[in-house]
Structure 1
Amino acid sequence: MNAFEINGGKPLKGEIIPQGAKNEALQVISAVLLTEEKVTISNIPDIKDVNKLIELLGDLGVNIEHTSKDTYTFEARNIDLNFFSSEQFKAKGGSLRGSIMIVGPLLARFGKAAIPKPGGDKIGRRRLDTHFLGFEKLGAKFNFNPETNFFNVDASQLRGTYVLLDEASVTGTANVIMAAVLAKGTTTIYNAACEPYIQQLCKMLNRMGAQISGIGSNLLTIEGVESLGGTEHRLLPDMIEIGSFIGLAAMTASEITIKDVQYKELGIIPDVFRRLGIQMELRGDDIFIPSQQHYEIDTFIDGSILTVADAPWPGFTPDLLSIILVVAAQAKGNVMIHQKMFESRLFFVDKLIDMGAQIILCDPHRATVIGLNKQVQLKGIEMTSPDIRAGVALLIAALSASGKSVIHNIEQIERGYQDIDIRLRALGADIKRINALPKGH
């Protein structure tokens, strides 16, 4: 089993370039199924979840060329619809949560699709109702077969309609958009997610010939078209990586420059880190974080303890709450972390407590962090990564800690972060990949 061995407590220095956005990649790569013409996508991150989706499209019959390290061309001219009923599809689709994203485009173009119940992170219930309720509104019929664990969807005649999403799900919104672009008539999607990833998808589809208006808002109007053509598209840098590197710099008192961040697309992310007392400055489109020995958490105007909570965009993304929590552990002051969307995402705090952090897990959704103000250094321990974001939070903690840490189950981290050990070593981190079994094995 692969693990990371980290000798922490060393300040880092240098420049780091964020990878392309994982969550955007899963959407726009799925969108290539909407046309038989060539689509070129660049800045694709070399990570497991994305590579699995690309492999799945290849199995479906998409002609794929890997033209450079981060660029692929896709041509979905000859799709094998019988692949859906194969055991191979069940195995591959079930291991990748992002595989749900191919359903919308396949329904739009071919009128049918099937998907095994997807896997993914163990961070609580991640229901798929929003996707299927949206498809149903457009005229699709689906059923779940508990014996085969397959969702089967029939959509021989999709028609535009008014869709009020039951939650502002990013993947749900993307899937319904992709189903609606080729539906007959006008579709209105209200309570739509409006993350930059959704905006990027809509802009790409419009370049392909779709007619989507309201981009950037929670009310989208889509005029169905007969067909879509090819295009070229470049992914945004991954905002979760950018936030992770801001947190890493603060925790390790490092001087780090994060390159080409597309700052205008980061929303309130930099402001939330500033409220933890982290200094940063914008240099062109780079974020420069100076070495800080101490950082102090802000309070609300009335002096009450700061609460950082996740919310649909343009609120704070839930994917960065794990990073905020670990960075707060060495701040001066206290903060309440309120993770509203997933009920198991804070359960990794027991490892931080073992490292010496002062955290009270109030319930599955809330944790109070009492900052150590770097008066006491965290100590290295052996631990296991439960999901992508908690894994990176633990990695940041280990890089700041005294002594040696070992993190097992790094496959979870590598689902979302490309060459993370190599890029950290370039900043001066003492991190290496080892073969090791967790204690008790």
Structure 2
Amino acid sequence: MSIFKIKGGKKLKGEIIPQGAKNEALQILSATLLSAEPITIHNVPNIVDVNKLIELIGDLGSKVEKLGPESYRFTASNVDINFLETDTYRKKAAALRGSVMLLGPILARFGKATMPKPGGDKIGRRRLDTHFLGFQKLGAKFNFDSEEHLFHIDASELKGCYMLLDEASVTGTANIVMAAVLAKGTTTIYYAACEPYLQQLCLMLNRMGAKISGIGSNLLTIEGVAKLGGTDHTLLPDMIEIGSFIGLAAMTQSEITIKNCRIDMLGIIPEIFKRLGIKMEFRGDDIYIPSQERYELETFIDGSILTVSDAPWPGFTPDLISIVLVVATQAKGSVLIHQKMFESRLFFVDKLIDMGAQIILCDPHRANVIGLDRKQQLKGIKMSSPDIRAGVALLIAALSASGTSEISNIDQIDRGYQNIDQRLKALGADIERIA
């Protein structure tokens, strides 16, 4: 298992380009199974989770052509859903949480599917109920084989309907939309997720011939069509990487320009980092972060302590809560971090405390961070990455710390961040990957 060895305390400088969006890629790549015609996808990130999904799509019989470093053409004209019954599929799908996104397209186009319980981050309960309840309302029938740990799904007669989701699940909404586009009649989804990545999926499906209205709102209407065609699609830059690089610049007192950010699709993300006292300039579609010796947390108008919490879009994404928490450790002032959507994502703070941060973990959802205001530098330690986002937060902490840090289990980081060590080296970071 590989390890990152980091000598911290160095100021970085330069330009960095965010990769294509991981969370959008998992939806868009799955949607290529909805059509027998060629679909070309650009700006595909070269990361573990995405590569595993591409491999699964190829195993299903879709023709996968790599056109360039970040471009693929998919032609799903000879899909063999019998592959879903194989041990190979079960093993690969169980190791990749994103494999659940294959369900909607397969059910819509082929009328049946089998799937194991999917894997992924160990960050608390991540229910699949929204996916399954949505499919059931469209007419799918589920049978769970407790001995084989498999779901057998019959979706031979999907019909449009009205549904009110139990939560604004991004992947759940995406999966239901992909199932509904080929269902008979009209489907109305209320309390739908409306993240930019879901908007991108809906816009792509419409270019393929789907009839989806209400895009960008929490009320989607889908008129089922008989078949879909091909298209070209370019993924958005990854907003989580963009937020991570903003945090990196602040923590390491670095001057960094983040290129090609699609600022119009970032929502409240830049504003949250500004509330932490981080200065930034929008230069066209680039974000310039100047070197700052210190940054001070805002308070609310009544003088009460700042609270940063996650929420469904257009609220603040939960994937950046760990980055905000790390950035706050060196700010002037205090902040309450409230991770509402997952109950275990804050458990990595014990490693930050070992590095010298002042953090009170109130419960699995809340942490109070008392900023050090640069009066005490974090110190390097040996630690392990528990999940993708916490892993990068710890990497940022290590880059800002005095001395040497080692981060093990970096396979978790590789799942979501493309060649992160090489890109950081280009900015001047002292980071080494040890096999």
Task: With the length of structure 2 as denominator, give the TM-score of the two structures.
Answer: 1.00
1:28-427 alignment, distance < 5 Å:
28-427=28-427
1:439 matched residue in structure 2: none
- Secondary structure class of the residue paired with 1:216: coil
1:429 matched residue in structure 2: 429
2:16 matched residue in structure 1: 16
Aligned residues: 435
Paired AA for residue 39 in structure 1:
I
Deviation of the 1:115 alpha carbon: 1.1
Deviations 1:301-351 (A, max 9, x none): 000000000000000000000000000000000000000011110000000
Deviations 1:169-210 (A, max 9, x none): 000000000000000000000000000000000000000000
Paired with 1:200 and 1:81, the residues of 2 have a C-alpha distance of: 27
- Give ranges in structure 2 of 5+ residues lacking alignment: none
The runs of at least 4 aligned residues of structure 1 exceeding 3 Å deviation read none
Paired AA for residue 125 in structure 1:
R
- Secondary structure class of the residue paired with 2:217: coil
Deviation of the 1:40 alpha carbon: 0.1
Deviations 1:29-79 (A, max 9, x none): 000000000000000000000000000001000000000000000000011
Paired with 2:143 and 2:279, the residues of 1 have a C-alpha distance of: 52
1:438 matched residue in structure 2: none
Deviations 1:379-435 (A, max 9, x none): 000000000000000000000000000000000000000000000000000000013
- Give ranges in structure 1 of 5+ residues lacking alignment: 436-441
Paired with 2:356 and 2:152, the residues of 1 have a C-alpha distance of: 49
Paired AA for residue 366 in structure 2:
R
- Secondary structure class of the residue paired with 1:311: coil
Tell me the percent identity.
75
Deviations 1:196-229 (A, max 9, x none): 0000000000000000000000000000000000
Paired AA for residue 155 in structure 2:
A
Paired with 1:115 and 1:94, the residues of 2 have a C-alpha distance of: 8
Deviations 1:220-241 (A, max 9, x none): 0000000000000000000000
Deviation of the 1:146 alpha carbon: 1.7
C-alpha root-mean-square deviation of aligned residues, in Å?
A: 0.4
Paired AA for residue 421 in structure 1:
D
- Secondary structure class of the residue paired with 2:198: helix
Paired AA for residue 377 in structure 1:
Q
Task: With the length of structure 1 as denominator, give the TM-score of the two structures.
Answer: 0.98
Paired with 2:338 and 2:143, the residues of 1 have a C-alpha distance of: 35
